[in-house]
Structure 1
């Protein structure tokens, strides 16, 4: 009898059949003894360690059985990683995403070790562009201006994460159900982030968050005695922009849903807007303004476009030319984003003039991880580490030069432009059109907001944005999935009647 060489070794035996094996029983007994010793010797710590080992073992088993679990884990962990670092001081938790993504690739190869992995789904423009961007970042290691490899490691995510994540997205997120799963994970963490922000605003910060503020972050997060809410994100700027990103995507995405799912995404949108407001991040308001404007254009409906523009114009007038709600700190703070003479804006423009002179003779920049005050950890006395970059694009310009900035912008505009063309002129499926429009609109808002803050390259926006690049470049699989489901439903109805 012929054997099936495509069998997944992790699915070869059921749990009940394993229990019948003497070898398994001996191993189980041995593990119980080991855990008992750990608990006796280490007491409470031992209990935590024992549960950690059990959970880790179970997780690894399911990861190697279903590698897509690693992808979902990376998306979820991406939201809490930086916040968790405030409590687990001294632990290199920043490498957590790297470990999960690499483990997912290992699981992918192990899962298919008796057959070849089908790489056909990743053969797309966006994969090539991510590879080129990663290759340029590797070149930055030998940049003559670079002085620290450790600094390069600290900034690796701007190219490494899209290089690892985009192929995984193309490989695994190939049905509407899986796409919805990502949005549900995103939505749940967005709701939790706003709830945490509300707690910070009304009840204050906890011990770990206070310690983080005491390290000097109070200078940017407590203004005029008011806390700029940051939730469990890296800072208030990231919290505000990401909540606005979530709101735009969720509100538009809700149009493709009915019943409880529709209600869920509307709630994500409402809480996202509220989270944006309490963050006190002025630049984040550009995310819904640009995001919804993009959506109105993508719809190609004159009535919708005119109505949307009028609505956004009223919002602009509200902030720019009125004093309504001026007694509210959040509204007052947002209103300063429309002031071209704002002191903070002038400081940023002055810094850019200083950097322009320095970088005029450095087309490849000063090296990844070498720009902005964050680089003081590695190069405390370097010129670039003593000039704030603020903007994501300024950071790219400083670290990778005008060559890197132009390459980065070309990649972003190419992916967004091609996907927008597909939505406007080629996609006929109304549900897929809405889903792709939601992602494109949110991404457009993030791209504009990233001029004021380093939004795009910081977690959790970074991984969500990179995944979205792959998703909007792969709309055909979602159209095909809908057509397949409709054909199956039609066949079932024909058989029934």
Structure 2
């Protein structure tokens, strides 16, 4: 799926180059580009990795690097060059929100009305081991995404973003729409049965308490958020619901699934001591590792986590580079939100996108989701938007003032009509 996504991005980039006079090329020179160059450069060097002794497979390397690195760069360039002004930004947020609402509706439809034929074929076939659990009594619904984890974590991060957009927007209709999208998305993560999703949701809002820079927002937000966390972690409220009960197990240190992952990671660690550069970024695209190869055990052990997957493919060196590059990108976004943006509503958009990205990274710790479509495009693209915001802040303030003036005029006319009816 990412290939089609990247083809679209490349076509959009070509169109920008053709119409170069409108390109805002100065907007791409930032810390995010530095972080991406660092990661893409490392993955390019991985073409020389022959830790498994199977020779160099350029095709497999490219397929792996395209998914792990190049698609991030394509998304960054596309968003940097196309989000040019406030109208395009708001239009993009509404498109994203509309798709999130449709996905939320679809998971409700799956749970309450039923699955389509193709969904049933996948669920009771390839997806049965991971999506029909607890002796067949619980189905993990997946909406229009590839699987429940991909959707659950993506929609949890979307909920974080839109709730923050909603509470910081000055325009009433936008505030209402954003909050509806955010709350619908928050509900939609529960039918997925993806335990990491609740941790993503919590992590995103924890960061926002810091980025809000507002006591009026931070204090009530902290109270509401702390109450929610207390209910989920320390009480049995809603325990009769299977989905809530499964979500709550994310905080259980003795959870069997979590313990199996820890055992697998210890086994992987012992093998990767001899492969500091990993087994190669294209190892899962090359046909596998023979059973007589000492790294076959690592190859056949489920990664269960994007970070573990990166660790297997690029070793401790690659995992370190990935963490540093993402740290650079996220830190740069936090600096922009906290220090450079003056408009409270624009800061809210920046904070929402940054917190959603951090939420997504937490998801990557528990599941293979960071490079999956559409999460990779949405959240790395969203972080790109944060870097664009300082360039459009002046235009944003002018646009927002016009919208607020229209809102005030509309309210004035309504008040006049009410007064006229009383006479």
The residue number in structure 2 matching 1:102 is 10
Asked if 1 retains the 8 angstrom alpha-carbon contact of 2:343 and 2:397, the reply is: no
Alignment of 1:144-183 (within 5 A): 144-145=50-51, 147=54, 148-155=57-64, 156-183=66-93
The residue number in structure 2 matching 1:239 is 151
TM-score where L is the length of structure 2: 0.86
Deviations, residues 70-101 of structure 1 (Å, cap 9, x unaligned): xxxxxxxxxxx5xxxxxxxxxxxx52112212
The residue number in structure 1 matching 2:340 is 426
Q: CA deviation at 1:218?
A: 0.6
The residue number in structure 2 matching 1:443 is 357
Structure 2 distance, partners of 1:427, 1:120, is 18
Alignment of 1:262-341 (within 5 A): 262-302=175-215, 304-341=217-254
Q: 1:132 to 1:414 in 2, by over 3 A?
A: closer
Asked if 1 retains the 8 angstrom alpha-carbon contact of 2:336 and 2:387, the reply is: no
Structure 2 distance, partners of 1:446, 1:102, is 24
Q: 1:117 to 1:180 in 2, by over 3 A?
A: closer
The residue number in structure 2 matching 1:186 is 96
Q: 1:486 to 1:454 in 2, by over 3 A?
A: closer
Q: CA deviation at 1:116?
A: 9.8
The residue number in structure 2 matching 1:401 is 315
**After alignment, is 417-426 or 229-238 more displaced?**
417-426
Alignment of 1:29-108 (within 5 A): 94-108=2-16
The answer to whether residue 26 in structure 2 is matched with residue 120 in structure 1 is yes
The answer to whether residue 38 in structure 2 is matched with residue 132 in structure 1 is yes
5+ residue gaps in structure 1? Answer: 1-80, 82-93, 490-497
Structure ranking higher on relative contact order (CA contacts 8 Å, 6+ apart): 2
The answer to whether residue 260 in structure 2 is matched with residue 347 in structure 1 is yes
Q: CA deviation at 1:384?
A: 3.0
The secondary structure found in structure 1 opposite 2:371 is: coil
Structure 1 distance, partners of 2:401, 2:79, is 26
Q: CA deviation at 1:316?
A: 2.6
Q: CA deviation at 1:435?
A: 0.9
Q: CA deviation at 1:150?
A: 4.6
Q: CA deviation at 1:478?
A: 2.4
The secondary structure found in structure 2 opposite 1:457 is: coil
Q: CA deviation at 1:108?
A: 2.4
Deviations, residues 214-238 of structure 1 (Å, cap 9, x unaligned): 4431111011222101111111011
Asked if 2 retains the 8 angstrom alpha-carbon contact of 1:143 and 1:364, the reply is: yes
Alignment of 1:13-28 (within 5 A): none
Structure 2 distance, partners of 1:216, 1:483, is 51
Equivalent position to 2:299, from 385, 399, 422 = 385
**After alignment, is 116-125 or 238-247 more displaced?**
116-125
The secondary structure found in structure 1 opposite 2:115 is: coil
Structure 2 distance, partners of 1:278, 1:487, is 40
Q: 1:433 to 1:203 in 2, by over 3 A?
A: same
Structure 2 distance, partners of 1:308, 1:485, is 28
The secondary structure found in structure 1 opposite 2:283 is: coil
Corresponding residue pairs, total: 392
Q: CA deviation at 1:487?
A: 9.7
Asked if 2 retains the 8 angstrom alpha-carbon contact of 1:222 and 1:228, the reply is: yes
Q: CA deviation at 1:312?
A: 3.0
The answer to whether residue 360 in structure 2 is matched with residue 454 in structure 1 is no
The secondary structure found in structure 1 opposite 2:274 is: coil
